[in-house]
C-alpha cells in the first residue's frame, strides 16, 4: 500500500536534488548572459514549487528543464571528456542522480500517492440539504 507521507519525503528529496544539480551546473557554466545563468534556475525553482503544490502537469515541466542535466554525461563524452576523468565522472554522476530523481518523481508508488489529486489535505466541501 503506497504511503503518502513517505511519498511526500520522496518528492521533496527528488525536487531538491534536481534543483540543486540544475543550479550548480548553471552557475558552473560559462554563460555570459544573466538571463541564461539565472533564468533557468529560477524557472526550475518555480516549476519545483508547482510540483510541490501537486500540479501534475508541472512534473513534465521539471522533466523538460532537467533534460540538459540528464544528458550532461553523454554530452561530456561526446565532447571528448571521458568518464574516467574527474570532470567526466562528475558529469556522469550528475546524469545518474538526475535520472534517479526523475524516476522517483514519476514512477514511485509512494510519490504518486502523494501527488495524486485524491491525496489533498483539504476536506471536501459540505453539501447542504436546503440549497
Dihedral sign from CA coordinates of 82, 87, 91, 96: positive
Model confidence, pTM:
0.80
pLDDT score recorded for residue 127:
58
Q: Which residues contact 46 (CB under 8 A, 6 or more apart)?
A: none
pLDDT score recorded for residue 39:
84
Q: What are the angstrom distances between the C-alpha of 125 and each of 71, 114, 122, 128?
A: 45, 21, 9, 10
Q: Structural domain boundaries of the chain?
A: 4-116
CB contact at 8 A, 112 and 11: no
pLDDT score recorded for residue 26:
79
pLDDT score recorded for residue 24:
86
pLDDT score recorded for residue 40:
85
- Segments of the chain with pLDDT less than 50: none
Amino acid at each position: 500500500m503506497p504511503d503518502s507521507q513517505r511519498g511526500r519525503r520522496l518528492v521533496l528529496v527528488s525536487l531538491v536534488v534536481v534543483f540543486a544539480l540544475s543550479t550548480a551546473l548553471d552557475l558552473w557554466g560559462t554563460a555570459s548572459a544573466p538571463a541564461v545563468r539565472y533564468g533557468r534556475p529560477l524557472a526550475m525553482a518555480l516549476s519545483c514549487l508547482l510540483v510541490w503544490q501537486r500540479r501534475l502537469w508541472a512534473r513534465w515541466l521539471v522533466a523538460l528543464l532537467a533534460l540538459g542535466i540528464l544528458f550532461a554525461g553523454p554530452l561530456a563524452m561526446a565532447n571528448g571528456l571521458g568518464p574516467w576523468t574527474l570532470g567526466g565522472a562528475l558529469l556522469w554522476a550528475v546524469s545518474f542522480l538526475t535520472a534517479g530523481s526523475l524516476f522517483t518523481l514519476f514512477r514511485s508508488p509512494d510519490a504518486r500517492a502523494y501527488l495524486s489529486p485524491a491525496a489533498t489535505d483539504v476536506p471536501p466541501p459540505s453539501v447542504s440539504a436546503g440549497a
